[in-house]
A and B are shown apart, each in its own frame.
Chain A
């Protein structure tokens, strides 16, 4: 367990597996599917072991190429990164299992080429974004996960996906351009890209650079909110996620959380409470925009005409709730946000997979919120929908309720308390009404004859994938105490930024396992700073 390179494994493993998959995918498709499944399971195991390491509260840093920070690129692992890595692994395993389920005709990974390779590259981008401690490297991992997501979104083809892809790709390309402008401006002022070093230098800026740094910081906020889907930057999301194949949409549920993660990281570490003139840069914006997002998303959920677009609005509502909680800026609200994040991400992934199953059972009617014939899996899918609906709108007894309750309790001490209580509760009611209406139209008003001839039965692997995610949801409920303690400690760690800075800047290069420089005739110690 003391092997120093564990930290890079979540990035390197999917990279190598993805590259291998590109080679074997065409010639040995069955082997490729198995390899992808095994690699994703291994990714989850690595993430769990990293979380076990991070649980002791120390921040671990890893120096790429043995270059000392801030000169090289550093990775850093703390509780928050580890939590998100595990969450990614749990959802990715269900998504890849769902994609390989069924017979040769209905398998989602056979709808087009390169599903598994793109899936692994997306995992690489996600893990890298959660681990990196370098701003430019964060941009690169954002691009890796976005490029893979463009391919995954288009997987299966069709006009709807092409239309969604044009909007999604152009929107994210503009986002990337803004990201680069912000990064370049910050580098121009501070001369560093390492987030820990940046945190120190932003706090000591000369007065004439402060306004430029403020614009760069707020520009970064715009970029992260594009990814996280915050008002007014969320309009791409329902169509995009609704058009994607179900396991892809389930994986995309974690992609919006990359934006949330980046906000949590940057606006506590670099623009946090101790950042001098730029302290709490995002605090005036996030709560207001978060509340607006929640209000409009619940209206969208009420107006949605298909189950998938309704789930899209639920993703937006959860992103709004998370950014609202982060924007309130106390340890308690951040802890509540992280607890809610786990739950809402899992349940959204469940709902996307369920929507696909419901669509497959209803033939031509698909997942439209209108009465229609239903296959013979109506009772079990209805029960699963009912449970997921309870979890997503935050009703007891599932842990979604605890997340919202923690948030509301933590928001009591802030200036926005009245707004948070009224809007979060009212939008919760609107979402319940939307879910109830959708459920009764789909499950309670079937036409005669009962079963459409085109109903596709749920295969055992698909049921296992759904069961795995539902089990994870139940686990977060059963183990809500330990999870809340963990997220509380993760929030605590985010606010004690000194430890992160010291860990990253104080990391010492590890001795090389193979003294390559000596072997090729260089002097020992050469190239070390």
Chain B
């Protein structure tokens, strides 16, 4: 039970920190937010196969092949796929962000520093 509470709490912290970062206006913060969110998602997929300690995912013939004795191997395979994809996507968006920063001279998500009346005073 403690493991579940810890895992759920950790997931919640990761996801909420990720969403908060996502809503910020700087590309770097957004990418960090996406990364945290993808960690939360990966852990969630893993948890969807139920949290079990000390049960093998591969049937070896000594125990009856039910979920009583074995961990569900499928979520682990799904997590691998999800990790690979999110890892590659983080790399891609980092490259795009670096390139956009080089071309626009700004790391604002809109590619330009805000110039509204509210920001006018702060700019100077």
Q: How far is the CA of A188 from the CA of B111 in the complex (A)?
A: 41
Q: Which of A20-28, A41-49, A157-165 forms contacts with chain B?
A: A157-165
Is B59 interfacial (CB 8 A cutoff)? no
Is A8 interfacial (CB 8 A cutoff)? no
Docked complex: B51-107 residues within 8 A CB-CB of A: 72, 74-75, 78, 81-82, 85-86, 88-89, 92-93, 96-97, 99-100, 103-104
- A162 and B96 contact, CB distance less than 8 A: yes
A165 surroundings in chain B (CB, below 8 A): 96, 100
Min CB–CB distance B67 → chain A (angstroms) = 9
- B99 and A169 contact, CB distance less than 8 A: no
Q: How far is the CA of A185 from the CA of B75 in the complex (A)?
A: 11
Is A140 interfacial (CB 8 A cutoff)? yes
Docked complex: A150-199 residues within 8 A CB-CB of B: 150, 154, 159, 162-163, 165-167, 169-170, 173-174, 176-177, 180-181, 183-185, 187-188, 191, 193
Q: How far is the CA of A183 from the CA of B48 in the complex (A)?
A: 10
- A174 and B22 contact, CB distance less than 8 A: yes
B47 surroundings in chain A (CB, below 8 A): 184, 188
Beyond A163-B111, A167-B109, whether A184 also contacts B96 by CB under 8 A is: no
Is A267 interfacial (CB 8 A cutoff)? no
Q: How far is the CA of A180 from the CA of B88 in the complex (A)?
A: 16
B27 surroundings in chain A (CB, below 8 A): 166
Q: How far is the CA of A159 from the CA of B27 in the complex (A)?
A: 15
B85 surroundings in chain A (CB, below 8 A): 140, 143, 176
SS of B interface (majority): helix
Beyond A169-B89, A176-B85, whether A159 also contacts B41 by CB under 8 A is: no
Q: How far is the CA of A147 from the CA of B38 in the complex (A)?
A: 16
- B74 and A184 contact, CB distance less than 8 A: no
Chain A residue nearest in CB terms to B81: A140
Min CB–CB distance B109 → chain A (angstroms) = 6
Chain B residue nearest in CB terms to A170: B30
Q: How far is the CA of A191 from the CA of B73 in the complex (A)?
A: 11
Q: Which of B78, B92, B100, B111 meets A184, CB within 8 Å?
A: B78
- A163 and B100 contact, CB distance less than 8 A: yes
Mask: chain A, 191-219; 1 = CB below 8 Å from B; 0 = not: 10100000000000000000000000000
- B48 and A170 contact, CB distance less than 8 A: no
- B99 and A162 contact, CB distance less than 8 A: yes
Is A401 interfacial (CB 8 A cutoff)? no
Is B114 interfacial (CB 8 A cutoff)? no
- A162 and B34 contact, CB distance less than 8 A: no
A143 surroundings in chain B (CB, below 8 A): 85
Q: How far is the CA of A159 from the CA of B110 in the complex (A)?
A: 11
Is A261 interfacial (CB 8 A cutoff)? no
- A163 and B110 contact, CB distance less than 8 A: yes
B38 surroundings in chain A (CB, below 8 A): 173, 177
Q: Which of B40, B45, B49 has the largest count of A CB atoms less than 10 A from its CB?
A: B45
- B97 and A166 contact, CB distance less than 8 A: yes
Q: Could you tell me how many residues of chain A have their Cβ less than 8 Å away from some Cβ of chain B?
A: 27
- B93 and A169 contact, CB distance less than 8 A: yes
Place the interface of chain B in its size category.
35 or more
Is A130 interfacial (CB 8 A cutoff)? no
Q: Which of B27, B47, B48, B99 has the largest count of A CB atoms less than 10 A from its CB?
A: B48
- B34 and A166 contact, CB distance less than 8 A: no
Q: How far is the CA of A210 from the CA of B64 in the complex (A)?
A: 30
- B100 and A162 contact, CB distance less than 8 A: yes
Q: Which of B37, B78, B81, B111 meets A177, CB within 8 Å?
A: B37
Is A136 interfacial (CB 8 A cutoff)? yes
- A162 and B81 contact, CB distance less than 8 A: no
- B92 and A166 contact, CB distance less than 8 A: no
Q: How far is the CA of A154 from the CA of B40 in the complex (A)?
A: 29
Q: How far is the CA of A373 from the CA of B104 in the complex (A)?
A: 31
- A174 and B96 contact, CB distance less than 8 A: no
Q: How far is the CA of A150 from the CA of B89 in the complex (A)?
A: 10
- B48 and A185 contact, CB distance less than 8 A: yes
- B109 and A166 contact, CB distance less than 8 A: yes
- A159 and B45 contact, CB distance less than 8 A: no
Min CB–CB distance A321 → chain B (angstroms) = 30
Q: How far is the CA of A468 from the CA of B104 in the complex (A)?
A: 39
Q: Which of A166, A180, A191 meets B93, CB within 8 Å?
A: A166
Chain A residue nearest in CB terms to B92: A150
B81 surroundings in chain A (CB, below 8 A): 136, 140
Q: A154-B96, A163-B104, A174-B22 are in contact. List 19 more A-B contacts (CB 8 A).
A: A140-B85, A147-B89, A147-B92, A150-B92, A159-B100, A159-B103, A159-B111, A162-B103, A165-B100, A169-B92, A170-B22, A170-B31, A176-B85, A176-B89, A183-B45, A184-B45, A185-B48, A187-B48, A187-B75
Binding site for A on B (CB under 8 A): 22, 27, 30-31, 34, 37-38, 40-41, 44-45, 47-50, 72, 74-75, 78, 81-82, 85-86, 88-89, 92-93, 96-97, 99-100, 103-104, 109-111
Binding site for B on A (CB under 8 A): 136, 140, 143, 147, 150, 154, 159, 162-163, 165-167, 169-170, 173-174, 176-177, 180-181, 183-185, 187-188, 191, 193
Closest 7 CB pairs of A and B: A188-B48, A163-B111, A184-B48, A162-B100, A184-B45, A180-B41, A177-B41
26 inter-chain pairs at a CB distance below 8 angstroms, sorted by A residue, are A136-B78, A136-B81, A140-B85, A150-B92, A150-B96, A162-B111, A163-B104, A163-B110, A166-B100, A169-B96, A170-B22, A170-B30, A173-B38, A173-B93, A176-B89, A180-B44, A180-B45, A181-B44, A184-B44, A184-B47, A184-B75, A185-B48, A187-B48, A187-B75, A188-B47, A188-B48
